[in-house]
Structure 1
Amino acid sequence: MEDKTAKIPIYLYKECVADLPKAVEYSEQKKCNVLITAITNPNFRREFFREPLRQNHFRFTRSELLLEPSKWQSQVVAKLSEWVDCDSVDDNIRKHSEATIRQEMAFSHHVAGHGQLLVKIRGTNTSNLARTISAELTAGTLLVEMPMVDYENQWYDSGNDEVESIDTWHWWNSFRSYADYSSRFQLALELTADLPAPGVILRWLGETVELLIIPIDVFITNRNNFPVLPFQHKNVALKFLAMTNCKFSLKVPDDETRDIENHVSYLRHLYKENAKRNDPMHGYDDILEIPLQPLYDNLDSYTYEVFEKDPVKYIFYQRAIEQALVDKISDEEANTKTAVVMVVGAGRGPLVRSAFNASANVDRKIKMYVVEKNPNAIVTLSALQEEIWKDKDMTIISTDMRYFEPAEKVDILVSELLGSFGDNELSPECLDGAQRHLKPDGISIPCQSTSYLNPVMAPKLLSAVREVRGHMRRGKPNTYEKHAESPYVVYLKNVFHITTPQPVFTFVHPNNDEVVDNSRYIKLEFAVEHDCVMTGFAGYFDTVLYKDIKLSIHPKEHTRGLISWFSLYFPLSEPQQLHAGDKVTVNFWRCISNSQVWYEWSTTSPNTTHVHNLKGWAFPIYK
């Protein structure tokens, strides 16, 4: 029978082991998948000399024959020597450190191929180290190790009787900035006995944490004498699992004599506990998706099906229609009056179903017009009419809602044209064109939508956008620029929200303005509380369907169980370093031409950028 626990990735971290094969065997026995240890043996430590190195220098590490190639590649993470100082002011030390790093990396690539390396850093002065490693990292990934709290450089602040420490996030930020935010550099963060402030932890949760290192000394014993993490540390570890999908590493001193089997078992238990937290969108997180344009493109059956599986949206729509029907037809008129309902952009009919259900629930008669421009969806609607709704007063119209001329005005106009930013699927343009079908006292569902925006730090998304730079070398010079100035639909998970979202644009339906103009401009200012890196802006929306019935993807007010919409991500072509106390000022436009709608955005503080997506060159929304 297959041991499912063997698939749970647990690393064992030992600074240096004398007998590598024995250490790998021990790691396997304790159900650890990977051993992290020094690639070199201290007996072969390289020495600094002004003259050529000693003759026995060719033997600078262990023999590759100690392990099979498959074990080198899958069960060992090679840790680079800590004693090197590539950023030393002493030229001799710097040059020999560079040579050591190159030599160790070359040997690691030789034995492990596309495996992982680990380097430990202790400050922000790492420009030459990052440069040297970047130049030599031809395969695999690099884990960059650092503590969550810096014990070595703490100082006592007599003013507030607290122990202050260096913000180690700056170590990581400097190193990955020198490496141009490469996705091949991943964070190995040590969970320290002292935890930083909650805001600092949230910022770490927005980083690409590949490995959470948990020293054995952080554990305590429970009443059953079983090793566990303290309550706060356990919660932090579970948050990292949920938001960054990281792996755990148990860090054990080389001379440790305690049995680690129960510690490993506990870490596996945390994995299982996290797995029980059902996330219906698991697997979609932090993936860039091109926004749909249902007005311009006909959606396929699979896309319709994904949206129709939302367990919440159509229930809320049904409640809104029920309330509107009750307001339109009193109890006394229920047997004599019929409400005319029009569903525009009906797709494969989920809103039609909601309307018929609402009619039955409140015992009100309705006459239904169903408008859909996609001829393939019309086939499905026609089949549903023949097989399920054949006794309903229902008319299907295959046309664009903006150009349809019905024989009568309607009491209730229902649509679901909202996108991740509220108006990015052109609901204002569509509903402005369709509202002429409404009676003077007619009801639009939805009746209002508001978009929201906030700056975010999303290094994983930044790396995903930057990966397209490879296309530039293949004769496509504008590919990266287009990706960097295009909005994306993203299920944001591994992200740091720099501050609270603010409202951007509001659209009301029906629109009673004398002159209908859906172009917009706004300038927003956000206060920065923590040093961080701004990679772009996240967009959300909420909508009032009818009266107090509301749907929202605003992160502070997200409708429970709603999965139809992800956030809209507006990247910056270059990330911006922010400091606590800074003010982020963003300019945001919604622009319109005869055939297109598009967004433009720029910042004026703390840094001034060019206007992204000018004239919709990177991503227009077609009418």
Structure 2
Amino acid sequence: MSTEQSKVSITISLYKDTVYELETAIEQAAKSSYHSITTPIVHRRFQREFVDEPLKAKHNCFTRSDLLLSSSQWLNRVICKLSSNVDCDSLDENVRKQGEATIEQEKSFAEHLVQNGYMLVRLKNGNCANLARVLAFGLKGVLLVEVPMSNPKITQATWRSDVDEKQPPEDTWKWWNNFRSYADFDSHIKIALEFTADIPKRKEIYRWLGEPVDAIVISSNIFLTNSKNYPVLSKAHQELLVLFHRILGCHFILKANPEDPRLVAYADYLKFVIRNNYTKDPMQGYDDLLEIPLQPLYDNLDSFTYEVFEKDPVKYILYQNAIEEALRDRVPTEEIETRTSVIMVVGGGRGPLVRAALNASLKCKRKVKIYVIEKNPNAIVTLSALINELWKDRNVELISTDMREFKPPEKADILVSELLGSFGDNELSPECLDGAQKQLKPDGISIPCKSTSYLNPCMTTKIYNQIRALEKSPHSKDRVVTSRHMEGSYVAYLKNVYHIDDPQVVFEFVHPNRENVFDNSRFKTLRFKATLDCVMHGFVGYFDTVLYKDITISIHPYTHTKGLASWFSIFFPLSEPMQIKKGDDIVVNFWRCVASHKVWYEWNVAAPRQCHIHNVRGRGQPIWK
């Protein structure tokens, strides 16, 4: 059912009381604007008996044959809908047992039909512990849990004076949160989010963006009719539709009578709205994918990695502008012909910063001598070729060594580097520049001159489940929690995420460092407040940096540099999700620890509930010097 963002996958949900011919429906789907159908496994009026004979034996053949469709059609064209008229959590034991047996029978037959395909069940309230237990055990395929976006009783309460306001209707997100918590955050369980006629507050909509929403359910009864008698959605529903498709790339389930003459028009309209509002994300394909942060000081980067970062359309232009401004400030107009500025590019890679420095010198008409310091022997080959072929007429000298060990024949006017990482300091920029600043003149300029890191708590079920999947033992179905994965940090382009509160400043580093003793260890306590009930899975980190004067680079969500693609945010997970209530104060302790041979981060939550300190002594993921 998954689809590329530029495509629109639509499923028709059949809910007529009479049995609808599956073969006819599949044929129509193949010819029409929709692609598949959602159909009940068993007709809603068919009651089965699992206790008393002879009805128990009589109802062994309880539904249509699987021979109606081919196995490929069942898998790719059908979502099997489980009964919603049973109550697995009833206080009446007979009703509860009947519901359990009914759901288990339908689940077994659904998996027989669609193997690892899609099943759908509808939540009616938050009392669903037994339902979750029955459905989640041994789940093979994908279970879509249909949840309305807002509780209809909330709207009813706003219009009726006889409703008891002391007990407001329960938020439907809590229904879902109860179900998935009972099911232990199983990654096979996803949401089919039903758009309701009344749209909740924006912050509640954003909370759904942190959940595994796989499908949007749209009922035909929320469509309006325009002046040309054509079905349309309200402006608010259109915006909601586009938002979820753009962020999550979900497909759509259209609830409609199969004999409704406007059925195809509904599907065509959904496609029209999405395609008219589609904009391609340059980072598409990297959405919510875990990556281990780079350690360029410890590991030699490969050619592919260098090439990815060199394609950034913005970063090196900003570096060029910063170097140009610094050269203009260092060399007045009257000294253009007589004064040569020394630029040291520490961590030259394959030369993009050298190219930026050369372009800046040409643009501002200042003479430069460039030293390129690079420790990667493979990148040295590339830099040597560039110097011998493209820059042979320029004053560029290559030094193959660690920037902290280089003893230059002369001091630098400008020191240029880009070891920032996704948190501003996780590629050891402070340690590297502190070691390299001995090469800088007392009044020399460092580019960048300041970096600041930020952090905020978040809910991101998709990322959490990816990390937890790494914890599975290859020899057991049980999850084995270790510090290696759950207590490491990850780089990810987070889209399927809900930010619980705004980012706050964590650490700040200034270059050149004028302190008498270099100490880059840090500690900070941060306080956040939750505005909604949610689940906290960890923390998202960002940074911004001042290259020179007012020239900055930022991945902070509020000040993100337009077009910047070199850095994604960094994610620090919690080993166990933490249930957060509206109004809770979230207190976080965060450390940057430094030893003789490594640097690492440690973090823990002190409130509203205390958890252990993650990544103690860098056991999960240290950064090696």
TM-score bracket for this pair, using the shorter chain length: over 0.9
1:222 and 2:222 matched? no
Question: What are the within-5 Å matches in structure 2 for residues 566-581 of structure 1?
Answer: 566-581=568-583
* CA deviation vs aligned residue, 1:118-143 (integer Å, no higher than 9, x gap): 00011111011000011142x21100
CA contact (8 A) 1:6 1:31 kept: no
Compared CA separation, residues 213 and 43, structure 1 to 2 (3 A):
closer
Show the counterpart of 1:197: 201
Show the counterpart of 1:242: 246
3-state SS of the aligned residue for 2:11? strand
Question: What are the within-5 Å matches in structure 2 for residues 370-385 of structure 1?
Answer: 370-385=372-387
C-alpha deviation, 1:53, in angstroms: 3.7
Show the counterpart of 2:150: 149
3-state SS of the aligned residue for 1:541? strand
RMSD across aligned positions (CA) = 2.2
Show the counterpart of 1:537: 539
- Following TM superposition, the consecutive aligned residue runs of length 4 or more in structure 1 with deviations greater than 6 angstroms are 4-7, 158-164, 475-479
C-alpha deviation, 1:469, in angstroms: 3.3
C-alpha deviation, 1:160, in angstroms: 11
C-alpha deviation, 1:220, in angstroms: 2.0
* CA deviation vs aligned residue, 1:276-306 (integer Å, no higher than 9, x gap): 4121110101011000000000000000000
3-state SS of the aligned residue for 1:514? coil
1:257 and 2:293 matched? no
Show the counterpart of 2:619: 617
CA contact (8 A) 1:205 1:494 kept: yes
**C-alpha separation in 2, matches of 1:475 and 1:74:** 28
* CA deviation vs aligned residue, 1:311-364 (integer Å, no higher than 9, x gap): 000010001000100000001111111101000001000000000000000010
Show the counterpart of 2:448: 446
1:12 and 2:15 matched? no
Compared CA separation, residues 405 and 160, structure 1 to 2 (3 A):
farther
**C-alpha separation in 1, matches of 2:497 and 2:375:** 38
Show the counterpart of 2:437: 435
Question: What are the within-5 Å matches in structure 2 for residues 520-531 of structure 1?
Answer: 520-531=522-533
**C-alpha separation in 1, matches of 2:569 and 2:161:** 41
**C-alpha separation in 1, matches of 2:358 and 2:39:** 65
| Match for residue 294 of structure 2 among 267, 288, 292 | 292
3-state SS of the aligned residue for 2:604? strand
3-state SS of the aligned residue for 1:58? coil
326-335 vs 162-171, greater mean Cα deviation: 162-171
C-alpha deviation, 1:90, in angstroms: 1.0
* CA deviation vs aligned residue, 1:372-408 (integer Å, no higher than 9, x gap): 0001111111111111110111110000000000001
**C-alpha separation in 1, matches of 2:162 and 2:403:** 68
**C-alpha separation in 2, matches of 1:478 and 1:177:** 18
| Match for residue 38 of structure 2 among 30, 36, 40 | 36
Show the counterpart of 1:132: 134
Compared CA separation, residues 479 and 383, structure 1 to 2 (3 A):
farther
229-238 vs 582-591, greater mean Cα deviation: 229-238
CA contact (8 A) 2:48 2:56 kept: no
148-157 vs 314-323, greater mean Cα deviation: 148-157
CA contact (8 A) 1:325 1:339 kept: yes
**C-alpha separation in 2, matches of 1:120 and 1:44:** 18
CA contact (8 A) 1:465 1:480 kept: no
CA contact (8 A) 1:48 1:92 kept: no
User: What amino acid sits opposite 1:11 in the alignment?
Assistant: T
Compared CA separation, residues 393 and 444, structure 1 to 2 (3 A):
same
3-state SS of the aligned residue for 2:445? strand
C-alpha deviation, 1:29, in angstroms: 3.4
86-95 vs 48-57, greater mean Cα deviation: 48-57
Would you say how many aligned residue pairs link Structure 1 and Structure 2? 617
Question: What are the within-5 Å matches in structure 2 for residues 101-112 of structure 1?
Answer: 101-112=103-114
Show the counterpart of 1:366: 368
**C-alpha separation in 1, matches of 2:481 and 2:135:** 27
Compared CA separation, residues 526 and 345, structure 1 to 2 (3 A):
same
**C-alpha separation in 2, matches of 1:131 and 1:300:** 47
Compared CA separation, residues 344 and 208, structure 1 to 2 (3 A):
same
**C-alpha separation in 1, matches of 2:107 and 2:260:** 31
Compared CA separation, residues 158 and 223, structure 1 to 2 (3 A):
closer
User: What amino acid sits opposite 2:11 in the alignment?
Assistant: Y
C-alpha deviation, 1:467, in angstroms: 1.2
User: What amino acid sits opposite 2:290 in the alignment?
Assistant: L
* CA deviation vs aligned residue, 1:1-60 (integer Å, no higher than 9, x gap): xxx999641110112543222233333333311100110124632147556644311111
Unpaired runs of 5+ residues, structure 2, are none
Show the counterpart of 1:186: 190
**C-alpha separation in 2, matches of 1:301 and 1:378:** 12
Show the counterpart of 1:272: 275
Show the counterpart of 1:461: 463
**C-alpha separation in 2, matches of 1:371 and 1:161:** 77
**C-alpha separation in 2, matches of 1:485 and 1:603:** 13
**C-alpha separation in 1, matches of 2:231 and 2:43:** 32
CA contact (8 A) 1:472 1:479 kept: no
User: What amino acid sits opposite 1:366 in the alignment?
Assistant: V
**C-alpha separation in 2, matches of 1:20 and 1:59:** 18
201-210 vs 538-547, greater mean Cα deviation: 201-210
CA contact (8 A) 2:483 2:619 kept: no
C-alpha deviation, 1:478, in angstroms: 6.5
CA contact (8 A) 1:322 1:359 kept: yes
**C-alpha separation in 2, matches of 1:135 and 1:166:** 27
Compared CA separation, residues 297 and 477, structure 1 to 2 (3 A):
farther
3-state SS of the aligned residue for 1:462? helix
**C-alpha separation in 1, matches of 2:7 and 2:521:** 53
CA contact (8 A) 1:451 1:503 kept: yes
Q: Indicate the percent of aligned positions where both proteins have the same amino acid.
A: 54
**C-alpha separation in 2, matches of 1:257 and 1:235:** 26
Show the counterpart of 1:174: 178
Compared CA separation, residues 475 and 68, structure 1 to 2 (3 A):
closer
**C-alpha separation in 2, matches of 1:455 and 1:242:** 23
CA contact (8 A) 1:80 1:104 kept: yes
Unpaired runs of 5+ residues, structure 1, are none
Question: What are the within-5 Å matches in structure 2 for residues 38-117 of structure 1?
Answer: 38-42=40-44, 44-47=46-49, 53-117=55-119
Compared CA separation, residues 294 and 528, structure 1 to 2 (3 A):
same
Show the counterpart of 2:560: 558
C-alpha deviation, 1:432, in angstroms: 0.1
**C-alpha separation in 2, matches of 1:44 and 1:528:** 46
